Every structure is written in structure tokens, then in C-alpha cells.
Amino acid sequence: MVGRREQLLELLREPEVVDEELRREILEALLGPPRPRRMTYEEFLTWADEDTLAEWVEGEVEMYSPASLSHQRIVIFLTQIMSAYVESQGLGLVIMAPFQMKLAGSGREPDLMFVATEHLDRLRETYMDGPADLVVEVTSPESIGRDRGEKFYEYARAGIPEYWLIDPEAERAEFYVLDHRGRYQIILPDAEGIYRSRAIEGFWLREDWLWKPPRVLDVLRELGVL
């Protein structure tokens, strides 16, 4: 069973060869038996606190594991450089987990999300009522089925324009942009390994920064913030 799971995970790491039907079949094979705990979203918000590792999906609570050090390093690095850039340009707000994003039928907690200025009215005290403009998920062996499966479709249906999937173990970043059909299409970095965001005007990053983060001040100079 472990070998089969690894084979399926390898397929999901090659998005160019996985069509929508195959992605759904792999998702069904990866997801284990549900552990239901039914409640409304309002009850979930009351029940959970900032230390609760859980998301709300179709009336049920889904627990997840604590983040690894490599996961946290990437999230903190991206939060620092994206927040500084967005603030300097007056583009909106970057929010790091834990903070809920309520969609139709689910309450997710992305590792990182960018909310454009024109959508800041969606923010509530303890959650965001609607989709962000960019969502970043840093995957782990425990979360990969959700991030590449359930969330992939939920975020597309919600109309989130840009979705990044970052895999520290494989040292692979995938950048998806919503097309006119409402489906995510992968956008590859250019020949120099640079990816330019569609949701955050003018923001770009080198993919190798994710695996060996340089000094934040040096990055901010390259981005023209300093």
C-alpha cells in the first residue's frame, strides 16, 4: 500500500501529464476514511482557536498535522518578501496562517494568501468571507492529497485567480493561473527561473529562493522595495 501511495504521489507531482479525470481518481485513492465531526461554520469558528489544526469542509471538521521546519521557513520567507512588496506598492494585504478563508461549502486555512485592496471588505475579525486573490499552499506527505486534490478544485470553483503549490521535499514549485474556463493552467518560470505573479502586479521571485532563501534585505533590494 505504501508503494502504491508513493506511485500516486509521483503522478501528482507531474501536473503536465495528469488530466482532470485522472486527478480525481488519484484523489479518491489517496484520501483515507473520513473522521466526521459535524457542525456549522459558525460553530466551527467558536469551537476552534488559533492553535487548532483543522479546516471545515461540508459541515465536517478535518484535522491536519503540525508543519515541519522546512515548511515554516518557506512560509515565513514568502510572507516577509511579499508583505514588504505589497505594502510598498499599496496593493492590499498578505495574511499568513492561521487565518480562515470561507468558501462555498468549506473553511480553509491557506499557508499564505494575498488579498487585493478592492477585496479587503471580505475580511472579518476571525476569517475571510470569500476567496483571496492568491493562495499559497506548502505541501507535506500528509497534506498533498488535499492540496493537489480537494483544494485544487475548491479554489478553482471559488474563482481564486492564482494558486501556488510548493513541495519542499521534491524542491518543486507549481504556479497555477485560472483560465477563461475557470480551470487552473500551470505557468512555468522563465529561462532564468523567474516567476512573475499575475495577481500581485509587478511581483516576481526566483524559484531557487524557495529552497535556499537569501537574505530578505537582498531580495527586497532586487524587487525594488529598498
- Tracing cell 508503494 back to the chain, one arrives at 3
Decide: helix, strand or coil at residue 10: helix
Average pLDDT over residues 23-50: 66
Task: Supply the range of the domain harboring residue 109.
Answer: 67-222
Q: Is the pLDDT of residue 226 over 70?
A: yes
Residue 39 lies in a domain: no
| 32, part of any domain | no
Structural domain includes residue 200: yes
Predicted pLDDT of residue 225: 94
- Half-sphere exposure of residue 122, counting CA atoms within 13 Å on the CB side? 21
142 falls within a domain: yes
The structure's pTM equals: 0.75
| 76-87 pLDDT tens trace | 999 999 999 999
In a domain, 152, yes or no: yes
| pLDDT attached to residue 148 | 85
pLDDT at residue 120, as a whole number: 98
Q: Considering the domain boundaries, does residue 25 fall inside one?
A: no
Rounded distance, CA 25 to CA 78, Å?
32
Q: What is the tens place of the pLDDT at every residue in 68-114? A: 788 889 999 999 999 999 999 999 999 999 899 999 988 889 999 99
Does 17 reside within a domain? no
Contacts for 59-62 with beta carbons within 8 Å, 24 or more apart?
A: 60/34, 60/36, 61/36, 61/37, 62/35, 62/146
Domain with 72 in it: what CATH number? 3.90.1570.10
Number of domains in the chain: 1
